[in-house]
Amino acid sequence: LEDAHKAIECGAAGIGLFRTEFLFINKASKTSLLMSENEQFEIYKEVLQIMSDKPVTIRTLDAGADKIINAKGMPSGNEKNPLLGWRAIRFSLDRKDIFKTQIRALYRASVFGNLKIMIPLITHVEQLQKTKQLINEVQEELTLQNIAFNKNIPLGIMIETPSASIMSDVFAHQCDFFSLGTNDLTQYLLCVDRENTIVSNLFQELNPAVLRQIQYTILSANAASIPISVCGEMASNLQNLLLLLGMGIRTLSITPTKISEAKEFISCLRYTDLVALAKRIPLCATTADVQTIITTFLNENTIQPN
């Protein structure tokens, strides 16, 4: 709730990523219990009310791997490869009780603001189809119970796995929006654990492989006329913005304290220059090549990002 107030103070046009697992992590750390439907409903409702008519994108539970919830039956992280294991939508679809509780809370809260629902770590088209089935069940239940809800809540997916990005032309016709999760997309494309300091030099958001997948995903979204935003840390770096904007990104989700700086920086840029810059990405073979084109651009345009 504090972050929602901060977002408004900092001039945000909405909330691009509400990571609901933090609610669960906080509660479980004190009580070893999960969030109930009503507890979730109250928080979602309040955030939506704080943001008024501004969009609030709430991501369903991304439990597991680097986000451990200390409650019974939750992913423990004690798998051989937790990052490739039982997490996010995989867990939610296996634990429909927990997933349904969350979807019900979100749907009940939907009448209090401008809600969008987003699904994490989608890798398979069937996961989206199963999620929609569950949403239909929730809608039917709420209708029978005479509980009000918005019938047209946009349903979007995180594009944060190679398969989702490669299949983005298909996904774009099956959901209402995309959000690029560049933290995981970089991790999974380059096979670099994002928290492993030994290989952190290989975690490169500006690697041409990552940029090509981002570019392809933007083209898929544009071709299907669905919105696409970036909610990974990549969007918080001003130099990266040059490429993201040049590739066609128009909506960024960044930490509130960086909003005014980003707005000021963007206001110094000319769109046609950014498009020309982004056109040079396919010519880059290495991250160093990408960095060179950015540095040259900044020098030629005498722009100094902090």
Q: Which does 16 bind (CB under 5 to 8 A by kind): Mg ion, ligand PEP, none?
A: none
Contacting Mg ion (CB under 5 A), which of 156, 181, 208, 246?
A: 181
Interface size with ligand PEP, residues (CB under 6 A):
10
Pick the stretch among 3-11, 46-54, 177-185, 253-261 that binds Mg ion (CB under 5 A). 177-185
Q: What is the DSSP letter of 81?
A: S
CA distance 157 to 181: 10
Site for ligand PEP in 202-231 (CB under 6 A): 231
Does the protein bind Mg ion through residue 21 (CB under 5 A)? Answer: no
CB of 296 to ligand PEP, least distance (A): 28
Per-residue interface string for the shown chain with ligand PEP, residues 55-94, x marking contact by CB under 6 A: -------x--------------------------------
158: three-class secondary structure by DSSP: strand
Does the protein bind ligand PEP through residue 139 (CB under 6 A)? Answer: no
Per-residue interface string for the shown chain with Mg ion, residues 126-165, x marking contact by CB under 5 A: ----------------------------------x-----
15: three-class secondary structure by DSSP: strand
CB of 119 to Mg ion, least distance (A): 11
CB of 304 to ligand PEP, least distance (A): 27
Does the protein bind Mg ion through residue 205 (CB under 5 A)? Answer: no
Length of the chain in residues, anyone? Answer: 306
Which phi and psi angles does 148 have, rounded to 5°? Answer: -70, 145
Interface size with Mg ion, residues (CB under 5 A):
3
19: three-class secondary structure by DSSP: strand
> Quick count: other Cβ atoms within 10 Å of Cβ 270?
9
Residues 6+ apart with CB under 8 A from 65: 75, 77, 82, 83, 85, 87, 88
Q: Which does 221 bind (CB under 5 to 8 A by kind): Mg ion, ligand PEP, none?
A: none
- Sign for the pseudo-dihedral over CA of 100, 105, 108, 114: negative
Q: What dihedral angle (degrees, nearest 10) is formed by the CA atoms of 130, 180, 160, 296?
A: 160
Residue pair 95/72 in contact by the 8 Å Cβ criterion: no
CA distance 151 to 237: 37
Per-residue interface string for the shown chain with ligand PEP, residues 181-200, x marking contact by CB under 6 A: xxxx----------------
* Interaction site with Mg ion (CB under 5 A): 160, 181, 184
* Interaction site with ligand PEP (CB under 6 A): 17, 19, 62, 160, 181-184, 231-232
